[in-house]
Amino acid sequence: MAIHRKYRLRYALRLLLLFVSLLIAAWFFLKTEYVLSLLVLVLSIVQAYLLYKLVILPFTELEDFASAARYRDFSRHFNIDKAPAELRSLRSDFNLINQTFKSITREKETQYQYLQKILELIQTGILLYDIETGKVSWVNESLKKILELPYIPNLHLIEKKNAVIYNEVVNLEPGQSTVLLLDADQQKLMISAATFVTEGKNHKLVALQNINEALDENEARSWQKLLSVMTHEIMNSVAPIASLAATLKQQLQGGGDDLAAFKDDVELGIETIQRRSEGLMQFAATYRTLNKITSSGKQSFMVGDLFESVLQLLGPKLDQRAITADIILKDPLMKLSADRHLIEQVLINLVLNAIDGLKDTADPKMMLSGYLDNDGRIIITVTDNGAGIPADVMEKVFVPFFSTKASGSGIGLSLCKQIMLLHKGNIYVKSVPGSGTVFYLQF
């Protein structure tokens, strides 16, 4: 200690002086100088007493400090200015220790207040109790609301209020969770538990969460997404049908009495509208059960007919944007075995996506092609010479509800991905910004 280093010489000198005084008293006693011997002996006793006080003084201070610490009283300040020189360093250390403990106590109190406020704000009920005695150590307001109890000192009160919850809380194994349905008000509670040991006591921490609202919210969100997808796909089909019907109407109105010249166009347009309408109805009927579509829904059809049907349907939109659309087939008789209505829906989405990508292109062009790769798999591509897809967006184009358009829903391409996976196929995209985009359908 600093006090020992600073004052050990003083202690040694006082011991030496006491020893010399005793020797002198003994020497006078042997010389029969009893009066002088007595005086020196008295002086030695005084020196011994002063040395005792000097030695015992720090221990008194230590005992005083320990007594305050035992009762967690760290507010005391030890006066340094009026303290003896021997105790100033010791009292300074005591003040430093008290200040440190007060700082630690404030930090812990602040952390406790933060934690308590957080636990009070969350909707999950928290219960902490002693496993052996059932005494509740801590409980938040959310649990009181769930149990409808203003005060919970022990588990027995919970047992009286709701025996079902009590049994689940007591019997639930640590690390497990369960969902409890309360028939009285159709309330669903998810209960989780954990145990730990502190100060030699076993404690159990239980969390009770009312999941009714969360389930209702998730269900509502799922319905919103379903309606959004349905609306997106219906609009993608209805808009071209309406545009094609308007075009046919204009041709009929402008053709006068000679309708024979437009007979083939009218028949082809009506056939396209009929086929797309049937496909739309089938899509609406099967969307919820896309994961149950099997090979029984597939049919064999010409890829060229599929391309022509899509371009016929979207012809008015292509003409409006002055987009040149071509079909390239290495094998004009190439056939594909798949659900035609769903694959047609995929191509409609891809062509509409290409049309949007060509809006700022001076000479917009689009191409639908089909060929066999080296593994004999059918590859269908939709190519445009538009602005392309930025590199940071490429990995997200098939993510549900991701869109770079202000009014986009982010549904079309993710649905295309889902339909291709149901056909055990794949869809991927390659794009060079400024040079165009190519979507590949691999069957």
The full DSSP string for 45-85 is HHHHHHHHHHHHHHHHHHHHHHHHHHTT-------STTS-H
Q: With contact defined as beta carbons under 8 Å apart, do 387 and 430 qualify?
A: no
Contact 385, 365 (CB under 8 A): yes
- Of 98-112, 158-172, 365-379, give the range with the top mean pLDDT: 365-379
Query: Two tokens at 414?
Result: 């993710």
pLDDT of residue 293: 45
Distance CA 124, CA 67 (A): 43
Among candidates 55, 66, 42, which has minimal Cα distance to 14?
55
Report the alpha-carbon distance of residue 442 to residue 426 in Å, rounded: 5
SS3 24: helix
For the record, the structure tokens of 327 come out as 């079909």
Summarised one tens digit per residue, pLDDT across range 133-142 is: 888 887 888 8
Residue with the larger pLDDT of the pair 324 and 53: 324
- What pLDDT does residue 325 have? 92
pLDDT attached to residue 289: 43
Which ranges of 255-396 would DSSP assign to H, the alpha helix?
A: 263-286, 303-313, 315-320, 340-357, 391-394
The better pLDDT of the pair 334, 33 is held by: 334
Q: Is the pLDDT of residue 13 over 50?
A: yes
SS3 for 47? helix
Least confident of 20-34, 180-194, 261-275, 355-369: 261-275
Query: What residues contact 435, with CB distance under 8 A and at least 6 apart?
Result: 385, 388
More confident residue, 379 or 168: 379
3-state secondary structure (DSSP) of residue 15: helix
CA 388 to CA 358: how far, in whole Å?
9
Q: What angle do CA 352, 355, 357 make, to 5 degrees?
A: 115
Average pLDDT, integer, range 54-64: 74
Cα gap 279→306, rounded to integer Å: 12
Q: Please give the residue that has the higher pLDDT: either 120 or 397.
A: 397
Looking at residue 290, its pLDDT comes to 45
pLDDT recorded at residue 274:
62
Looking at residue 132, its amino acid is E
Query: 282 versus 220: which is more confidently predicted?
Result: 282
Closest C-alpha among 267, 232, 233, 229 to residue 248 = 267
Long-range Cβ pairs for the range 18-24 (8 Å, 24+): 18/44, 18/47, 18/48, 18/51, 21/47
CB environment 267-304: b (16+ within 10 A), e (fewer):
eebeebbebbeebbebbeeeeeeeeeeeeebbeebbbb
Nearest to 206 by CA among 143, 145, 151, 141: 143
Phi and psi, residue 77, nearest 5°: -115, 125
Pairing of strands 335-338, 299-302: antiparallel
For residue 328, what pLDDT band results from cuts at 50, 70 and 90?
Answer: very high
Residue 307 tokens, joined: 């391309």
CA atoms within 13 A on the CB side of 361: 24
- Flag whether pLDDT at 153 surpasses 80: yes
Whole-angstrom Cα distance, residue 248 to residue 262? 9
Q: How many CB atoms lie within 10 A of CB 40?
A: 21
Q: How far apart are CA 351 and CA 327, in angstroms?
A: 13
- How many CB atoms are closer than 10 A to CB 253? 8
| Spatial CA neighbour of 175 closest among 155, 189, 195, 190 | 195
Bridge partners, 281 (sequence order): none
The 10s digit of each residue's pLDDT in 397-421 is: 876 666 666 555 556 687 788 788 8
pLDDT at 288: 46
Q: What digits encode the pLDDT tens for the residues 276-302?
A: 666 565 555 545 444 444 444 688 999
Which of 397, 388, 430 is CA-nearest to residue 416? 397
Mean pLDDT value of segment 351-372? 90
Q: How far is CA 100 from the centre of its chain?
A: 38
Which residues have CB under 8 Å from 288's CB, separation 6+? 226
Spatial separation of the C-alpha atoms in residues 70 and 185, rounded to whole Å: 52
**CA–CA distance, 131 with 202 (Å, rounded to integer):** 6
Stretch 135-164: mean pLDDT: 84
Interatomic CA distance for residues 393 and 429, integer angstroms: 11
Which residues are CB-contacts of 239 (< 8 A; sequence separation ≥ 6)? 317
Q: Model's pTM, two decimal places?
A: 0.41
